Amino acid sequence: MNNKKLWYYGTRISQVFAKHSPSNEHKTIQFFPAFDNLNMLEDQYYRSLWYLPFVNNVKVIMMNILGQDDPSNLSCPNYLRKSNKKTFPIEFSKGNVEIEDLKKTDIILVWKASVLKTIPFRYWHQIRIVDPNYYLFSETHTYPGILFHDIYTDDDRLEQRNQSLKRYLNMKSIFSDKYKAYVFGTGPSIEDIDKYSFEENSIRIICNSIVKNKNALRYIKPSILVFTDSVFHFGASRYVEIFLEDVVSAVMEYDIYCVTNEVGGALLTHKVPEISERIITIPAKRFGKPNLLSEKCFYTRDYENVLTRYMLPLAAGLCSEVTLIGFDGRNPDETYFWKHNANYQYLDQMNSVKEAHPAFFRDVEYDEYYVKHCKNLELLCNTIEKDGKTIRVMGNSFIPSFASRLG
């Protein structure tokens, strides 16, 4: 394992598993080192406008040696979401940050990873790497997790879980007379959606950027929206800004529930309050076999893909029959994760998300990801069918476990 991976996993383990205060005590967040690059100062300033939890017990410190003492002079990079700078309670001033200053802080946001080795060991448990150029998920997983892992107390997390379980039970009671679930993906075959008819008395589960296609939404009449990606759904990019605008629109028009992970759900509850009462966050089980989601097993395996992590466990937990369309998988000559239908993807904003999170696109192993996804999917399908549920796949699919269930 290379040094970058060690630093990433070490700081993430500290973030996720460190002991948390039982009370809402004051927390200080310090960017380190002092900014010496205007582009990075502007980048991190606008990035933090989205990610950081601006609540009364949190103080954010951003120092620079560029002579900047007024954040209103900063310009937002065109790849990041626009935000209201005037609402940012931050100690923003010119000056340097000395190692000894870290004694006064609870969380050290390292925006330039080259300084990691200069930080004394006694401060390592406080480090959160938010350098977008560092390694894979370092920035994209760490930044969204600051609220849920570092600021929330144990009581806060318990309250979120209790509220989510309550909403899940309410949703389940609404759908109690429905035995069939349709699950929709964004693969090329979703183009043929209008060739199929769907039983009226059914649950319709959509995912991700399907919310972009208003015609498809009118045809599907969705019941539940599922999304969980830290880059494409909770990130600081212009892509995510537009995606969440469409999420709000879909929730309001179709009165749907949003199922997502706990970290992203906490962030959206604070940042997109219009949909907070419709968000159901599902705890992650890091080890063990996959399971069907229910009130007694209110968690799922933390698989990386939205289909295996939430869509299938949710659908099979609610219904006895599950039908999927739009999960084509990966053509053997594909060089990305897999091909998306252009009408269901924000293709004009892909550059913004790549510029916002360069390490993710640079370091992800697409072949490895797909092999692992197919293996997990087969295991999950077998688990669902052993429970007496049926799975049917419509359209086309290169995924082995789906190709064998076409019909």
pLDDT tens-digit readout, 113-130: 999 999 999 999 999 999
CA of 196: how far to CAs of 143, 193, 213, 220, 325, in Å?
41, 6, 17, 10, 10
Mean pLDDT of 211-232: 96
The span from the CA of 116 to the CA of 3, in Å, is: 11
Cα pseudo-dihedral 49, 167, 160, 109, rounded to 10: -30
Q: Which residue type, as a one-letter code, is found at position 167?
A: R
Q: Report the pLDDT value the prediction gives residue 85, as an integer from 0 to 100.
A: 54
DSSP 329: -
Instruction: Please calculate the CA angle 226-79-228 and round it to the nearest 5 degrees.
Output: 15
Mean pLDDT of 145-153: 93
Mean pLDDT of 108-116: 97
Q: Report the pLDDT value the prediction gives residue 15, as an integer from 0 to 100.
A: 86
Q: Does domain 155-403 have CATH number 3.10.129?
A: no
Instruction: Say how many C-beta atoms besides its own lie within 10 A of residue 302's C-beta.
Output: 15
Residue 329 falls in which region: left (phi positive, over 0), alpha (psi -120 to 50) or beta:
left
Q: Report the pLDDT value the prediction gives residue 19, as an integer from 0 to 100.
A: 53
Indicate the range of 53-57, 194-198, 255-259, 282-286 predicted with least confidence.
Answer: 53-57
Indicate the range of 79-88, 113-122, 310-319 predicted with least confidence.
Answer: 79-88
The span from the CA of 233 to the CA of 345, in Å, is: 12
Q: Report the pLDDT value the prediction gives residue 269, as an integer from 0 to 100.
A: 96
Q: Report the pLDDT value the prediction gives residue 1, as an integer from 0 to 100.
A: 57
CB-based contact 182:139 (threshold 8 Å): no
The span from the CA of 88 to the CA of 71, in Å, is: 9
Q: Report the pLDDT value the prediction gives residue 332, as an integer from 0 to 100.
A: 65
Give me the residues paired with residue 61 across strands.
30, 91
The span from the CA of 257 to the CA of 222, in Å, is: 9
Q: Report the pLDDT value the prediction gives residue 11, as an integer from 0 to 100.
A: 87
Cα first-last separation, the chain: 44
Give strand ranges (E) for 177-220: 180-184, 202-207
Residue 326: pLDDT over 60: yes
Res. 255 pLDDT band, cuts 50 70 90: very high
* pLDDT (tens digit per residue) in 331-345: 766 655 545 668 889
Q: Report the pLDDT value the prediction gives residue 20, as an integer from 0 to 100.
A: 56
* pLDDT (tens digit per residue) in 1-50: 578 888 888 888 888 877 555 556 778 999 999 999 999 999 999 999 99
Where along the chain do its domains lie?
A: 3-152, 155-403
Residues of the chain with pLDDT > 90: what percent?
Answer: 75
Res. 184 pLDDT band, cuts 50 70 90: very high
Residue 263: pLDDT over 70: yes
Going by C-alpha positions, the residue among 239, 30, 229 that lies closest to residue 119 is: 30
* pLDDT (tens digit per residue) in 288-302: 999 999 999 999 999
Residues of the chain with pLDDT > 70: what percent?
Answer: 94
CA of 154: how far to CAs of 149, 202, 263, in Å?
9, 37, 14
Res. 398 pLDDT band, cuts 50 70 90: confident
DSSP string, 279-308: EEEEPEE-SS------SSS--EE--SSHII
Res. 192 pLDDT band, cuts 50 70 90: confident
Res. 368 pLDDT band, cuts 50 70 90: confident
Mean pLDDT of 168-176: 97
- Residue with token string 């969440």: 244
Mean pLDDT of 137-164: 95
In degrees and rounded to multiples of 5, residue 314 shows phi and psi of -70, -50
Write down the pTM of the prediction.
0.94
H or E, element range at 50: helix 38-51
H or E, element range at 42: helix 38-51
- Residue with token string 């002579």: 67
CB-based contact 389:316 (threshold 8 Å): yes
DSSP 230: T
Burial of 162 (0-12, 13-18, 19+ CB in 10 A): exposed
Arithmetic mean of pLDDT over the chain: 92
